[in-house]
Amino acid sequence: MRTRLRRLRAGDRDYSWRATIGSVPGDGADLHRCVRVRVWGAGKNSCALEADLLSKATSVGWTPAATDGSYPASGDIRRLVEHALALGWDPDARGGTFRLAEEHAPELPGFLITGRVRDPAAPDPTERVLRASERRT
């Protein structure tokens, strides 16, 4: 399958972004939907913004990821871009990756930022999704 680059205008700049759907394991037998987002502000050779988005959906089924159809909207990406710029991301820099971590996560309606994809010792996704679900109700 071909990767589709999407376009987004934020402020006075055009950004290109893509999202790759995957999953991240919880501490138990559960598996959660995780979408890796990469954003470029000055072409694919520029410093990329990267965030692993953990879906807040509490779907039913064998695992939450099996029935979860969550996907970031352009508003979610715009919020990530604005937050990363405030933290010091330079989209004009050549090469490298600026990763958003759980500690510096913006509030997104349907997602949490997780570090579990790269660090198995990061906080349990299941616990974080359940806490986010409790806050919404």
Q: What pLDDT shows up at residue 56?
A: 87
Q: What pLDDT shows up at residue 96?
A: 95
CA distance 114 to 122: 8
Q: What pLDDT shows up at residue 126?
A: 82
CA distance 42 to 91: 6
- In the DSSP assignment, the letter for residue 42 is S
Q: Average pLDDT of each block of 10 consecutive residues along the chain (137 residues)?
A: 79 92 83 92 93 84 70 94 95 95 88 90 84 71
Q: What pLDDT shows up at residue 1?
A: 45
Strand-pairing partners, residue 32, are 24
